[in-house]
Amino acid sequence: MDAKDDQRLLASLLDTIHVKRGNAEFCSRLGVRFSALQKLFFLLYGQRNDTLYWYTELIRLLHKSYLQRPTELRNIDRRRERHPEWLLSEHLVSYMLYVDRFAGDLVKLQSKIPYFKELGVNLIHLMPLLRCPQRDNDGGYAVSNYREVEPRLGTMQDIRSLASMLRREKMFLQLDLVVNHTSDQHEWARRAREGEKEYQDMYFIYDDRTIPECFEESLPEVFPLTAPGNFTYVPQMGKWAMTVFHNYQWDLNYTNPRVFLEMLKNLFFLANQGADVLRLDAVPYLWKRLGTHSQNQQEAHWICQLFHACTRVVCPGVSLVAEAVVEPKEVVRYFGEGENKGAECDMTYHVLLMVLLWDALATGENAVFLRCLQSLPDVPSHATWLTYLRCHDDIGLGYDDEDLRSLGIDPSLHRRYMVDFYSGRYPGSFASGKIFMENPRTGDARISGTAASLTGLEKALTTGVTEDVDRAIQRLLLLYGLAMSFGGVPIIYAGDEVGYCNDYASLDEEAEKADNRWIHRPRIRWDTVERRKVAGTVEERIFRGMRRMIRVRKETGEFSFRARRRFIDTGDSRILCFLRSLERRHTMVLANLSDTFGKVDPLLFHWTGLTGKVVDRLGGRELLPVGNTLIIPPYALYWITRS
């Protein structure tokens, strides 16, 4: 279709769904996005006989959802349309938590807002809190009702109240939307089990193992030890359901346009509760194709782009996060590419940076860090990374194997070293992690553990050696400081700011003992957190260090995502150095990755534009060389600017 055809179709659809001509804002937004909406929808569903019906239903849904948008949130939409760069600000710092483990419920969480302000975080990410089964729930990622909060956590009214309170404090709310699958207890799955064809068509349901066996030839196993295979037999139906994650999580079939529309309704519903950011879970898995590993298919990107375009029509103030834990070069595609660059998701997790930070700490060298980041494409304007050390999930070792080979490193041996090091099996390791999902067939494995336990604090507190405790705190603050200054929105996982170690009590819980990721999802004891107020305690030292880094970050425009980053070779493989520049301002990030003293030539500052006296903004003091050498202590981190 050409532009005139688009306009005629748009006018016809607006008449069909009875959009009032006076609704200028909706019509304007729809007009801007109409061509993209039509192209994406017909790319996905144009082969059907009923495509125009479903496309009309999509436009009807957009109009209805726009009308349901609360006035206060519409005003926010208008401000963010004018200033879409709000996500790129150096002022944004995320805090990630489970409501029950952090505060008990949503009402009690409201009383913790002063704590968030004290620390300096302002994007509060609540882990899954929608209704789910009591036992088989995958930490909330097996949703049985998208319109209700899990009763023990509160109600939708509590969500709205919390969102309103956060807005008054100039904070933001992030919620999760599980888009790839539902719980087998969801109404759609229940009605599918009862034999309703309409609902069976919303999943991948097969009469026998013929097609599932064809899929299994190329589908990897996400949880090979606890959930082998990708299909589950459902006796009540006498059929097989695709269950890529767990046998109680049924994969949704996005070849059915009804699935997309139903999930879009859920997206708008959560947005209208006051969410500023929605995290789309497991987006690489959204499209299945026989003969492939059914991840990162082009149609999965079209679905994300369609979510994005629809959001820009109805609630443009809401940002979308792609949860894409895939190969590094695949991750950046979720920002959009080619003519759709910047038109897919607004944020995605910098999984590679996370892995490389742990790699640098384990090796004490910068070679892998620098090599692996060189080949990543640029991020579009008005989009940004989420930078982090830890999240609720395990640490997977998603290097690009060719990058490792170019350094003369065997990828499989290097991954084995990392697993052994962070599980504490490697001689001399300071870490106390656990091995997660070790696959005896392939040798693949991942790592569980809190940031404090992985950086050595757990072991140091056990031995009681003061120097070891000091070093562990330095390591923890070093990694967080790099995540905060690298570029993007840094995430603090609940408990890291006071040095929470592994919570082994979860291994005795019937519902949790089979999944050791629960050890790094600790239950927060507020008497422990109160120790942040006692000078000299571990909690106080870490909290003070984190709070200072957050404060200095917010004062440093060079740490916004608008700023440029340039890596610098200091000649010392132990030192990681990069320059952040914005207009004529520069801040150099200088970090010693090792437990030995490093050194740099002070001329480095002059070569990078930092002439005259230079100061470390974190330490608040001038940096003075000894002769022609600046000595960098073990695990030291400097944010260096001109005096």
SS3 567: strand
CA atoms of 163 and 165, how far apart (whole Å): 5
400 counts as catalytic: no
Q: For the chain, how far is it from start to end, CA to CA, in angstroms?
A: 60
Cβ neighbour number for residue 65 with a 10 Å cutoff: 22
Classify residue 68 by its DSSP letter.
H
Q: Cα-flanking dihedrals φ and ψ of residue 365, to 5°?
A: -135, 160
Cβ neighbour number for residue 384 with a 10 Å cutoff: 25
CA 324-329-335 angle, to 5 degrees, is 55
Classify residue 389 by its DSSP letter.
S
Longest dimension (CA), the chain: 81
DSSP line for 127-179: ---EE--SSS-GGGTS-SEEEEE-TTT--HHHHHHHHHHHHHTT-EEEEEEE-
Task: With residue 301 as reference, give the H or E element that holds it.
Answer: helix 298-314
Q: Exposed, middle or buried: residue 527 (CB in 10 Å: 0-12, 13-18, 19+)?
A: exposed
CA atoms of 79 and 592, how far apart (whole Å): 42
> And the tokens for 29?
């937004």
C-alpha 629, offset from chain centre: 40
323 counts as catalytic: yes
CA atoms of 616 and 604, how far apart (whole Å): 15
Q: Of the listed 100, 281, 496, 497, which one is catalytic?
A: 281
SS3 640: strand
> And the tokens for 569?
């070779």
Q: Of the listed 105, 323, 403, 496, which one is catalytic?
A: 323
Active site positions, annotated: 281, 323
